[in-house]
Structure 1
Amino acid sequence: MDHELRKRGTSSLATRLFLSATAWVVVILVITGFVLSSVYRQAVERSFDRRLNLYLRTLIAEAATPDEPGADHPFQSLGEPLFEIPLSGWYWQIARVDSDKVDVRSSRSLWDKQLTKLDDTTGTLTPAGVRIGYVSGPEDQRLRIVERQVDFGSDGKFLVTVAGDATEIVDETRTFDYYLGGTFLTLTLVLVFTTIFQVRFGLAPLKRISDSLAAIRSGRAERLEGEFPVEIAPLARETNALIDANREIVERARTHVGNLAHAIKTPLSVIVNEANVHGADPFASKVLEQADVMRDQVAHHLERARIAARVTVVGTITDVTPVIEGLRRTMEKIHRDKDIAIDVEGNEQAKFRGERQDLEEMVGNLVDNACKWARSRVFIEVMVNVLTADRPPMLHIIVDDDGPGLSPAERTQVARRGQRLDESKPGSGLGLSIIVELAALYQGNLSLGTSPIGGLRAELILPAA
């Protein structure tokens, strides 16, 4: 489960990198597409305007001939046959602007209609005095138009206009946009696949580290091995250094615990021996009583310190089945006079994420307690429950007996340190409390209930591997 969570975390990072890179690629290509389309459209418009300006200058030159503006002057088609085709979208027009008298001449293509005049809102005035813009034509065509006011001296002032069908601009730009869109779509797909490859290849060393850490936690390895890229190598070195430092701390803690145990046991033994010499003295009896309490306390807390140090060791995994089988054989020998049958069922592949001796101590206490109170049968069941995707699997060890059982109040009492309900049974009263504290150190717990076979049920929950 932990491996799956790490895998999901790596995949999530890869997904975020991929989506981020793809988003930037798409945004950049879209912006670039708009810019290129706009630049190309402006280039097409400039080319179209140069063509219209050429017709405009030619028309002005013809209108400025000596016999202009005679009504019978035969204007040419300006080299463009479309000026001769009615409503073709290509028009020219010469209109007098300094007289109330209507004096308009136009191309045959304009038929009997007139072109719309540009103003400050619909046209742009160039430094050469030519106004350029878009207007609607006779057939609601969109026209690109250029016009210029020309003074012919005594003949008057005229507005000379040339218009062309803007469909050419639209079609040319649309064709460019289609090719541009296809090219950018292909480029996007290539970049996306390239990004996928780069992300997966770039994160491969992180996946190796994740797999190596999983191997360390499962006990299959002790360090991160192999060559890593320069960017990842410091992480691997620091991780190995942290693992080594952790082991050194644990070893020092174990050494200090052992030294403390020996240092305290010797004075206690001296006190006990001196008190035994004066066994009849009430004061000596009290000293012996309190010395026993001190021994229990020292043993209890030293054991907790020893276990807490072991729990911090990375990568310790214990097979559960051999431990249970070994305890079953041992307890059958210890309690052979009661002829108790100890049955074991459950998951033979179950593994405990912790030290073997801790598992033996916890389960051994439970089985020993069950054998003390059972009439004829003890049943042990081992299960591994997978909870949810964000929580690790848990090991469940259930010990049932067919003894007298306990009431809810008694179950609460026996889990306390030093509490015994029956002084006729051997023991110090520390067994269940030690199990509770041991399980808590492993983020587990012990619960007591009623057994289906009539006695007490003890369910020990611990982290599984």
Structure 2
Amino acid sequence: MHARQLIAASFGLIAFLGLTGIALDKAFQSSLVNNMEARMERYALAIWDEVNFDRNGRLQTGAIDNLPDARFNNFRSGLYAQLDSAGGSWQSESVKLFSLPKPPAPRIGIPPEFTGPITLPIGEDSSIKAYRYTASTQLEDAPPITLRIYESEEEIFKQIAEYRKSLWGYLGIAGILLVLVQIAILRWSLQPLRVLETDMKALQDGRQQRLEKIYPNELRPISGSINALIDSERSNLELSRNTLADLAHSLKTPLAVLQSEIENADDPAAFKSEVYAQVQRMNDIVSYQLSRAARSGHALYSAPVDVLPHAESIVQSLEKIYQSRGVLCEFEVDDKSQFSGEPGDLQELLGNFLENAFKWAKHRVLLTVKPIYEPAARRPGLYLCIEDDGKGIAPEDIPKILQRGVRGDERVQGHGIGMAIVQDIIRSYNGTLSVDRSSELGGARFTIRLPCLN
């Protein structure tokens, strides 16, 4: 990327400097030619002021001695003058011993003009520019006079050559300096990309876990997307590992029972019944873990779900299961209580907590549900509290029961994954879970707070 940008910028710079050099060269040439023509016009006017005629209309050539440039007096200097009239002709000293071309007869009304380049038979000069000036004398019936100024363009060519040498030399130096500046600017501007490339290489090599550096604003969406992808991949990997661990942990007990039955299969009917029960149990465990793995997240801003109907349905089933122990559930549920999420998540929360409460309660379970309001919230939060009158949980045992695969009492049937499941759900909704002792019933109290949606 750095090389491509440098090559593209260099081509653009070369084109710009080339066009600039051509434009400056053309402007300099035009300026030299214009100055030369203006100078030849001044020479012609200065010489014309020195021209005199006698009474007979003859040109007095001896009077032309105050020439405007000393080169008119130097042989083959590159600056020549020629005056032609019916009364005689005159040539500057610079063209002595040579004969300039015989001009056509002068005529009144011909405007001054420049011609050239032409070639004169005066030796080395091969490119000559000529200026013709025709005017009439003050004498009556006198024919017009033509004054020609010839100047060699060799001096212009020399100046142009020197100028081009300097111009392209300086432009070349400027181009080299600008390329070096471009390299420095590109290296400085692309430094964050090189840092990102180095960090990506470190990610691939396992030398770092995330893109932790502070990148420019232009790269932050990229780094944020990469970090989100990394977090999602690791979260999915962790979820897969946890699901497999939960499944393996849950299947250990049924498999152990089956092994024990195989070793002690005295009653075929009882053996068949037990095998069927354990197989059905394992099938339920596998189905549950698969459904849980498929439900790896929840949709944001789901339609709110009324809590009371789901709570009543779950409690009716649990009261039938624990009817022999006489466990009943009391409700303190606000009719306006709603869960802003997926119904399956609500059922998991209520089902796991209420089942634990029924399992450990002596006779009473209390379910308290009410909304949580905030002034700027678009949807209220939710407060859930499940209490029982069992023996409760010792404070030092609370961290242990919240761990994956740990049961509060190994003698009680269970898999020890219920708390892990509900903690994952609560965490996905940015909620909190607290466990303490119920002040009203004396047993355990589980309190869930789900925040408002803004």
What TM-score comes out, normalization by structure 2 length?
0.48
Q: Which has the larger radius of gyration?
A: 2
